[in-house]
Structure 1
Amino acid sequence: MTEVITAHDLGIVLDAKDERALFKWFVASFLMGKRIQAPIAAKAFHLLVNEHGCDSPDLLARLSHRQLVAILGKAHYVRYDESTATRLSALALRLVNEYGGRFSALYSTHTDRHTFERRLLEFDGVGPKTVEIFMRDAAPVLF
């Protein structure tokens, strides 16, 4: 049975007006959405956000590919470290370039959950499992 880790478990208090909290939960969901053990994904999240301060798209986008791979490796997120590093960078850059670095800009124009979920799936590396994890905790505060 897969361990379920919630936003609360990671110390994230979700609020529709809290950009950083929503972004952090999206990153955590992205990491947990891969075929990797949830505790390893949680450790990668903590290293990325708490130790390296990447709690916004701008800050995450500043890390090099090599830095991201090293952080993921330190968390033993090794099976997908290269591809995940590439996709995390792309995710952050897209949020910066297309949404002004504001996670709220991604969902504020969508009044219905289905359209928002389709928008999330447009990010490289975000699949149905990532969306399911993210929406499990985020939907009650967003919709």
Structure 2
Amino acid sequence: MGKNITALELGIDLVEGGEAALFKWLLASFLMGKRIRAQAAVQTYHVIVDRHGRDTPRKLAGCTHRELVRMLGEGGYARYDESTAVRLLALASRLINEYGGTVTAIVAASADRGEFEKRLQAFDGIGPKTAEIFMGEAGEVLF
């Protein structure tokens, strides 16, 4: 998958952006962590966040499965749209239910970076690759 897309290239400022930026980067990392063209992941991120304004866990969790599948298709993520929609909705719901909707609450619940990464990978659809993408930039801000 060529060169990694950075948070700043997506308009996400992890240093100044606080929780909102962390969630957007988690969403972007989730999309980029799949076996899909980087450009499709980037376009899909922009469709979900910029075009449809689903930029918080609550707004994302407020989507229906069908709406999310449509957004994923709009961004060119069609091959994985069904399973990705299910996992994204589950991610948003679990983040809300277990961590009050914040990435920083996962940090607070973790003894260290290693435990944080384990908690992150406990979310359906977040494996080592997604965690690596996310931590590549967010790790410096969080730990």
Contact residue 16 and residue 22 of structure 1 kept, 8 A? no
**Counterpart of 1:65?**
65
Quick one: which amino acid aligns to residue 35 of structure 2?
A: R
* Aligned residue number for residue 130 of structure 1: 130
Aligned: 1:107 with 2:107: yes
Runs of 4+ that moved beyond 2 A: none
Could you say which structure has the higher helix fraction?
Answer: 2
Q: Is the 8 A contact 1:61 1:93 kept in 2?
A: yes
Amino acid at match of 1:57: P
Gaps of 5+ in 2: none
> Which amino acid letter does the alignment assign opposite residue 72 of structure 2?
L
Matched letter for residue 99 of structure 2? Y
* Aligned partner of residue 69 in structure 1, secondary structure: helix
- Alignment-derived partner of residue 121 in structure 1: 121
The amino acid that maps onto 1:41 is A
Aligned to 2:109, what secondary structure does the other structure show?
coil
Q: What is the rounded CA distance, in whole Å, between the counterparts of 1:85 and 1:16 in structure 2?
A: 29
| Counterpart residue number, 1:46 | 46
When normalised by structure 2's length, the TM-score is 0.96
Cα distance in 2 between the residues matched to 1:74 and 1:49: 12
Q: Specify the SS of the correspondent of 1:108.
A: helix
Percent of paired sites with the same residue: 57
Could you tell me how far apart the structure 2 residues matched to 1:40 and 1:86 are? 18
Distance 1:17 1:80 in 2: 29
User: Distance in 1 between the 2:4 and 2:17 partners?
Assistant: 25
Q: Give the secondary structure class of the aligned counterpart of 1:53.
A: coil
| Cα pair 1:17 1:104 within 8 Å, conserved | no
Q: Aligned-pair RMSD on alpha carbons?
A: 1.3
The alpha carbon displacement at 1:138 in A equals 0.4
Report the 3-state secondary structure (helix = DSSP H, G, I; strand = E; otherwise coil) of the residue aligned with 2:13: coil
State the distance in 2 between where 1:110 and 1:16 align. 22
